[in-house]
């Protein structure tokens, strides 16, 4: 993100005045909900919570995972809209409340800071090691992407680190903490890069016009439209053949379904300018989580 006069001011104001955030935002709740990227935030929360249940975190532990992941994702979403407000206004984005004037960018930044402040103790409920994985890999990566890396060739790294760290957040919080299986981390990283590609696919031209030159923008739309399903299918492939033991028939069925969905959602030119590439990524991520759930006992 290029430097701007308002970003440090917002972040300072969030830290100095957190107690008044809720009272100031009540009347703007609908705009806040549309600004936090609720769809992916809820999807990631549901996926990781289900993974925690399958891995043996129990009801209390899984609830702690859900609360931490949700607040972390909300902080990333609000941070994104606050950081991009000027650029989104310049490009005429009507789906961003911070760009249309429905939500002051300062309020989005305050909400991001509040969610981040809540995420820290909620992450620590899973233990120090698990909290470190979540706050550094997932939340820290998301903020780094919003504030700087999205405009550089390193833009996929926060997605890879964030998605790859989610299994560690689950397994490091088990009653007997341990690191996650390699194939879970590798698949998460591949899914993260794929999600990055499909997320920016509809906006590549607008991004380039406003100076955003992350890796997908440099590669261009045709390359990203084909690279995205490849990354998703690579993740599913790792989850199919990586875990110990023979590959079950259900894994092959899920892998085939993932292939159909990813290609239909990203390779069809008429869909490339819509939100369907992103939704197909969510669906393929759901299939990957289903594979992880089937191998939940092997995750650690």
Tokens describing residue 282: 């969510």
CA distance readout (Å), 210 to 185, 207, 215, 217: 34, 5, 15, 11
Tokens describing residue 178: 């341990």
- pLDDT over threshold 60, residue 50: yes
Report the percent of the chain where pLDDT is more than 70.
86
Tokens describing residue 101: 């004037």
Q: What CATH architecture is 181-300?
A: Up-down Bundle (1.20)
Burial 208-222 (b: 16+ CB within 10 A, else e): eebebebbbbeeebe
Quick: pLDDT tens for 86-137: 888 887 777 788 888 888 899 999 999 999 999 999 999 999 999 999 999 9
Topology of the domain comprising 1-177: Tetracycline Repressor; domain 2 (1.10.357)
DSSP-based three-state secondary structure for 253: helix
- pLDDT over threshold 60, residue 14: no
Residue with tokens 């550094």: 136
- The pTM (predicted TM-score) of the whole model is 0.82
- pLDDT of amino acid 59: 95
Could you state, in order of their start, the residue ranges of all structural domains in the chain? Answer: 1-177, 181-300
Alpha-carbon gap, residue 128 to 134, rounded angstroms: 10
- pLDDT over threshold 90, residue 189: yes
Given phi > 0 = left and psi -120 to 50 = alpha, else beta, which region is 37? Answer: left
Contact 76, 139 (CB under 8 A): yes
- pLDDT of amino acid 274: 60
Residue closest to 184 by CA, chosen among 24, 292, 41: 292
Contact 40, 61 (CB under 8 A): no
Alpha-carbon gap, residue 51 to 239, rounded angstroms: 14
Quick one: CA torsion of 251, 172, 39, 14, rounded to 10 degrees? Answer: -160
- pLDDT of amino acid 278: 67
What is the pLDDT confidence band of residue 72, given thresholds at 50, 70 and 90? very high
Mean pLDDT of 157-165: 95
Alpha-carbon gap, residue 291 to 300, rounded angstroms: 15
- pLDDT of amino acid 58: 92
What is the pLDDT confidence band of residue 24, given thresholds at 50, 70 and 90? low
- pLDDT of amino acid 2: 42
């Amino acid at each position: 993100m290029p430097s701007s006069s308002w970003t440090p001011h917002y972040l300072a104001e969030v830290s100095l005045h957190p107690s008044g955030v809720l009272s100031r935002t009540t009347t703007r709740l609908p705009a806040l909900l549309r600004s936090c990227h609720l769809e992916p935030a809820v999807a990631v929360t549901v996926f990781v919570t289900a993974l925690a249940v399958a891995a043996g975190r129990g009801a209390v532990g899984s609830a702690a995972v859900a609360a931490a992941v949700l607040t972390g994702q909300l902080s990333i979403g609000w941070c994104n809209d606050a950081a991009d407000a000027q650029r989104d206004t310049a490009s005429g984005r009507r789906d961003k409340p911070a760009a249309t004037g429905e939500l002051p960018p300062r309020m989005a930044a305050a909400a991001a800071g509040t969610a981040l402040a809540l995420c820290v103790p909620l992450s620590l409920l899973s233990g120090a090691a698990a909290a470190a994985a979540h706050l550094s890999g997932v939340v820290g990566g998301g903020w780094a992407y919003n504030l700087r890396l999205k405009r550089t060739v390193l833009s996929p790294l926060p997605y890879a680190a964030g998605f790859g760290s989610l299994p560690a957040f689950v397994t490091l919080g088990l009653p007997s903490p341990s690191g996650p299986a390699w194939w879970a981390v590798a698949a998460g990283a591949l899914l993260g890069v794929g999600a990055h590609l499909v997320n920016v696919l509809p906006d590549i031209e607008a991004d380039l016009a406003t100076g955003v030159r992350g890796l997908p923008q440099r590669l261009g739309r045709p390359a990203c439209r084909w690279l995205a399903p490849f990354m998703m299918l690579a993740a599913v492939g790792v989850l199919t053949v990586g875990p110990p033991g023979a590959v079950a028939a259900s894994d092959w069925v899920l892998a085939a379904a993932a292939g159909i969905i990813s290609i239909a959602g990203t390779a069809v030119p008429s869909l490339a300018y819509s939100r369907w590439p992103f939704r197909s990524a969510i669906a393929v991520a759901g299939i990957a989580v289903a594979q992880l759930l089937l191998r939940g006992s092997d995750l650690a």
